[in-house]
Amino acid sequence: MLSLVPEIYQMKKSIRSSRKDLDRLRLNLFQKQIRNIYENVPFYREVFKKLHIAPEDFQKIHDLRKLPIIMKEDIRNNREKFFNEKMNSEKCFHSFSSGSTGQPFSSYFDKRCWVRKKYLSKLRARFSCGIHLGDRVAIFESEPAENLKRLNGFHPLRDLLLYIQYFSIFDDIDALLKRLIEFKPQNAYGPQSFFFYFAREVQKNKQTLSFLKRIYTSSEYGQRHAAQFIRDILQVEIYDIYGSTEFKEVSWECEQHQGYHINEDEVICEILNGNIPAAPGEVGEIVLTDLRNHAMPLIRYRIHDRGKILQENCPCGRTFSLMLPVAGRASEYIRLPDGEKISPFRFTTAIEKFSGLLQYQFIQESRADIVIKVIIDEKTSAKTFTNIEQMIKNITKGQMRVTVRKTDRILPEENGKFKVVKNMIQEPALA
């Protein structure tokens, strides 16, 4: 633990260091990682040999492009080749995800990297965005309550820095509210769709939770209107976080909400269109490289999320560059009867222009049927429905039957995650 002290100091410093210092640190970490994969990871040793390259050929970060892009499937079929042969996987920490395509995947981390990603990096971002030492934090997990008992019994940081309690989003909402009022957390952490549902219940019960000041949302594409509703009802500040099981937190919103600061001393974030870099500000596929994980280093890993890099510096003065994740996993595209695929981003940007809309979900029910479930406020006129219908008809080029359906609750998936766009047609080609 003591050996982490300089690391914590450096982490804190990096966030506001000069661009030059941060770039120097990144290049250093990058070259160290390149040497690691060349010396210890069989898959990369073969790649270097096949491409006739050596670690010395990686003098700048963009030399990364010399390496191939990999995906979950490449690793799943060949796991031991992606693992550091000098490390023992049984001594590593690992994370398991069922994945959006339902195919399970495990990522392994060496101890040092795990502590950084699982705790230090998250704490750094939270402490720089509102959380104070000794605060109470309610974490809402997409896990049944029985699974959380162990976590509620022990936490390495419990009572040391923060008071943390875990809650299940599947629990009865009245019981949850009661427990929350007893705990009085200043901070809550969980999926946006849960807090939206939660805020609706608070509104119905005419309750006030004045102790709650900040909500940190993650693991879903955030909806603008839903976020505004949560802010208005619960009177909180909302900070969204972008991350994944394989990399943990990748980027996070600061108090300026101008984009998401990339943890640049943890990952390299590329935005690609096909295999070439997207133009600055252009939306493309997010491809990540881990600078810290030496056990199972993911290099140029296509995460199947989309986003863009923002060119502007954040007014908050933090050095880490800004990015913006956007809706649109490959499996969530809408496919027109003529075969054309339409990005979810097209639908979400169009629908977010309508006021009075609190939450929505697009469901492609069959080749020619699309249903839009909407939760609206009382002031919304019937004309909004016709306008949404017309807008979707235009985007789908008149090829689909469009139904806009008012509802009171849009349920998350079984894993607790909310899908903005849901494709019910099982087509392998969609990926």
Tell me the torsion sign for CA atoms 340, 344, 345, 349. Answer: positive
C-alpha 84/C-alpha 248 separation (Å) is 20
Task: Determine if 128 is a binding residue for Zn ion (CB under 5 A).
Answer: no
How near is the Cβ of 256 to Zn ion at its closest, in Å?
5
In the bound state with Zn ion, the residue whose beta carbon lies nearer, of 156 and 315, is: 315
Stretch that binds Zn ion, among 1-9, 192-200, 314-322, 404-412 (CB under 5 A): 314-322
In the bound state with Zn ion, the residue whose beta carbon lies nearer, of 188 and 254, is: 254
Question: Beta-carbon neighbour count of residue 72 at 10 Å?
Answer: 20
In the bound state with Zn ion, the residue whose beta carbon lies nearer, of 215 and 254, is: 254
Stretch that binds Zn ion, among 66-74, 223-231, 272-280, 318-326 (CB under 5 A): 318-326
How near is the Cβ of 393 to Zn ion at its closest, in Å?
39
Among 100, 168, 256, 331, binds Zn ion (CB under 5 A): 256
Residue 272 CB contacts under 8 Å (≥ 6 apart), including other chains: 69, 278, 284, 285, 287
How near is the Cβ of 317 to Zn ion at its closest, in Å?
7
In the bound state with Zn ion, the residue whose beta carbon lies nearer, of 125 and 371, is: 125
Among 314, 342, 351, 400, binds Zn ion (CB under 5 A): 314
In the bound state with Zn ion, the residue whose beta carbon lies nearer, of 316 and 330, is: 316
Stretch that binds Zn ion, among 25-33, 58-66, 132-140, 307-315 (CB under 5 A): 307-315
| Alpha helices by DSSP H, 145-278 | 145-153, 173-183, 192-204, 224-234
Task: Determine if 164 is a binding residue for Zn ion (CB under 5 A).
Answer: no
DSSP string, 326-378: ES--GGG-EE-TTS-EE-HHHHHHHHTTSTTEEEEEEEEEETTEEEEEEEE-T
In the bound state with Zn ion, the residue whose beta carbon lies nearer, of 254 and 374, is: 254
Question: Beta-carbon neighbour count of residue 241 at 10 Å?
Answer: 22
In the bound state with Zn ion, the residue whose beta carbon lies nearer, of 316 and 430, is: 316
Expressed in percent and rounded to 5, the helix, strand and coil fractions of the chain are 35, 25, 40
Among 212, 230, 236, 254, binds Zn ion (CB under 5 A): 254
What are the tokens at 390? 């017309």
In the bound state with Zn ion, the residue whose beta carbon lies nearer, of 176 and 323, is: 323
- The DSSP secondary-structure symbol of 311 reads -
C-alpha 191/C-alpha 267 separation (Å) is 23
User: How many amino acids of this chain bind Zn ion (CB under 5 A)?
Assistant: 5
* Nearest one of 252, 258, 243 to 288, comparing CA atoms: 243
How near is the Cβ of 218 to Zn ion at its closest, in Å?
17
How near is the Cβ of 262 to Zn ion at its closest, in Å?
11
Bin 167: left if φ > 0, else alpha if -120 < ψ < 50, else beta. beta
C-alpha 143/C-alpha 416 separation (Å) is 8
Task: Determine if 316 is a binding residue for Zn ion (CB under 5 A).
Answer: yes
Residues near Zn ion (CB under 5 A)? 254, 256, 314, 316, 318
